[in-house]
Amino acid sequence: MIDEGIGMARTLSFSKAINEALAQAMREDETIILLGEDLAGGHGVAHLEGKGAWGGVMGVTKGLVEEFGEERVIDTPISEMGYMGAAVGAAATGMHPVPELMFNDFLGFCLDPLLGQGSKMRYMFGGKASLPLTVRTTHGAGASAAAQHSGTYYGMLAAIPGIKVVVPSTPYTAKGLLLAALKEPNIVVFSEDKTLYSSKGEVPEEQYTLEIGKAEVVQEGADLTIVTIGKMLFVGLEVAEQLKASGISTEVIDLLTVSPWDRETLEASIQKTGRMIIIDEANPHNSVGRDIAAVISDVAFDYLDAPIKVVSAPDTPVPFASNLEKLYIPSAQRVLSEADELIFDLRSAKEA
C-alpha cells in the first residue's frame, strides 16, 4: 500500500506498528497465538463469518483473524484468570501465546498466572521449563477513563523476578521490541500507553528487533540526564528543549525496558552529566523511577552533583475530571518545578 521496498521506512501509527509485528511474527511461527477479549469480536455472528467485528477494543489487532483464523486469534470470554493461566500452560508446553490484558488495571483478575505460576515455573522446576509468553497490555492516563482504566502498573510486574517488562514509546520501538519479545523464551510484558496508539512515526517494513534490556539515548547531552518511560519521552524532550534556551545540554534516555533496566547506559550517562531526572507516570511508591534513583544514587554516588529527582504521578488514583487528570500526569512544567533547585543550579552554573 505505502512503500513496499525492503528497508524502506513508512509512516505508521503506534497501533499499526504493533499489528504489523504480530502479523509478521505469526507468519513465521505457528506456535504464536493471540488470546483476549474481542481481539476479533463478533465470534459466532453469522454475517461476520471469518471477519472480526472490532479487531480489538482499540483496533490494534484488526485484520489478524481474517489472515490467521479463529484458532490463532482467539476471542475469549471475560475470564482473565482463565485465559492468562491458559497462556502460561500453553507456553510451558511449547506454544508462544500472546494474551492481551485489555487494561493493565485488570491485573487484579489475573495476577496468579503471572506472579504465582509463570514467573516462578522455570525456577521451581530447576530450569526444566521455558516460558515463551508475551503479555500485551495497556497503561496510562489521559483518555478520561477514570480510576479503573487509567492506571500505570508496569512497575508492579517489574517487581516480580522472572518477568521482563517492556514499555515502548514510538511506533519504531514498539515494532522492534515486540518482535524481540516474540522471539524470547521468557515472559515479557509489553505495556502499551493507550494514548499513543494514534501517534505516528517511521517504521521499516521488514522485521527488525531491538534488544530487550537496552535503553536508547535519544538525545546526547552533557549537563543533565533525563530518563523517561514510554510516553514520558515526549515530556522529557520538551523539558530538554526548554532547558536548551538556558544553554543546558540534556541527555534524554528512553528506558524502553523497565525490567531488567539498562544500568550500564544510565551509569555511563550520569558519570558524564552528574545529574538525573527520571520521569515515570506510575504512582510514586515502589516505582521503577524510584528503583532507578535508589540504585544510581548508590552506584554513581561519587559522580552526583545533585540529588536524583523522580517525577511521577501523585500518590492517588487517577481522577476523572479532565482538569485534574491533566495535573495527574507528569508534565514538562511539573518536571521543571519539582526539579527547580537542580535546574536553578545548572542555570546559574551556565551563566557563571
Ligand X SMILES: Cc1ncc(C[n+]2csc(CCOP(=O)(O)OP(=O)(O)O)c2C)c(N)n1
Q: Which of 261, 232, 262 is nearest to 165 (CA)?
A: 261
Query: Per CB under 6 A, does 100 bind ligand X?
Result: no
In terms of CB distance, is 38 or 193 closer to ligand X?
38
In terms of CB distance, is 144 or 337 closer to other proteins?
144
Per CB under 8 A, contacts with a second copy among 127-166 are 146-148, 155-156, 158-162
Per CB under 8 A, contacts with other proteins among 181-200 are 185-186
Query: Per CB under 8 A, does 89 bind other proteins?
Result: yes
Binding string, residues 225-264; x marks residues near other proteins by CB under 8 A: ----------------------------------------
Q: Which stretch binds ligand X (CB under 6 A): 102-110, 155-163, 165-173, 272-280?
A: 102-110
- For other proteins (CB under 8 A), the number of binding residues is 82
- The catalytic residue positions are 149
Per CB under 8 A, contacts with other proteins among 288-317 are 314-317
Per CB under 6 A, contacts with ligand X among 26-55 are 37
Per CB under 6 A, contacts with ligand X among 62-91 are 78, 80
CA–CA distance, 176 with 311 (Å, rounded to integer): 27
In terms of CB distance, is 237 or 318 closer to a second copy?
318
CA–CA distance, 7 with 10 (Å, rounded to integer): 9
Query: Per CB under 6 A, does 102 bind ligand X?
Result: yes
Q: Which does 48 bind (CB under 5 to 8 A by kind): ligand X, other proteins, a second copy, none?
A: other proteins
Interface contacts to ligand X, rule CB under 6 A: 37, 78, 80, 102, 106, 109
Interface contacts to a second copy, rule CB under 8 A: 105-116, 119-120, 123-124, 146-148, 155-156, 158-162, 259, 283, 285-291, 293-295, 297-299, 301, 304, 306-310, 314-317, 319-320
